[in-house]
Amino acid sequence: MIHDTSKNMAKKAKRSPQESAHTPKPIPYIGLTQTCAQIRAEFRPMWLSSHQIHLECMATYVKAFFPVRVPNVVSFESDALGPASLRVWIRKHDHEIDYPQDATQLFKFKAQLPDCVVTWHSLAYERYQQDLNRIINYNSTVWRKSLSGRSMISQVRLGFQETVVMKVVVKERHSEPWTKNGFHKVIASEFDSFKERFGWDREAVDARVVVDFSVDYS
């Protein structure tokens, strides 16, 4: 609009320190939403590198940003859904709960995109990070197949005690009799053989990491 006379522009009022502290911070890289696909693809690794996802939020995060079935109305490049890295944040709350947390979607995500490097971060519990990084980035074709498609595994849960505990919930038709009966004495050779069916040989798991199994009867 063109005016016949100049209009006085009002000066922006200065915010007090208290108001500035409560002012929402700008979303990083929000301007990329208005750019072309090529520019977004070039900056995407930088954008993803700033993500730190809490373990309990991982299922919804993967579902939102990395859908298994991409809508037909959306066009992606062949590698558009394959990030170079993903960071998972462990909080004090994750350590204090009595039951292992569901990390199934994270493991399935890693199986779907094996080239993605997943790293764990925690200020309070740094002793877990090395073991968790080894577990999630374990490169085994058998393990990835166990998690992909109509897999043998229903859930993978992680608990944090004196060591990292990985509980693998196996579908009933793929289980063994000793996995169903809590009073059955487990023979070490049977247990090791069962782990190898999922790609976890004796050399794969550190002594500090506990791998356990349970059965899904649904």
- Domains of the chain, residue spans: 30-67+82-216
Please give the angle made by the CA atoms of 63, 68 and 72, to the nearest 5 degrees.
105
**What residue has token string 């009002």?**
10
Residue type, 67: P
pTM for this prediction: 0.70
Two tokens at 54? 């809490």
E strands present in the chain: 52-54, 85-89, 101-102, 117-121, 153-160, 164-171, 209-216
Place of tokens 């292992």: 100
How far apart CA 166 and CA 30 sit, in angstroms, is 37
Taking only the tens of pLDDT, the chain with its 218 residues reads: 555 555 565 555 566 666 666 676 666 666 766 778 777 777 777 776 677 788 888 888 877 777 666 555 555 454 454 556 788 888 777 766 667 888 998 999 888 888 888 888 876 667 788 888 888 888 888 898 888 877 789 999 988 877 888 899 999 888 887 777 665 667 778 888 888 888 887 666 665 678 888 889 88
- Relative to beta strand 117-121, strand 101-102 is unpaired
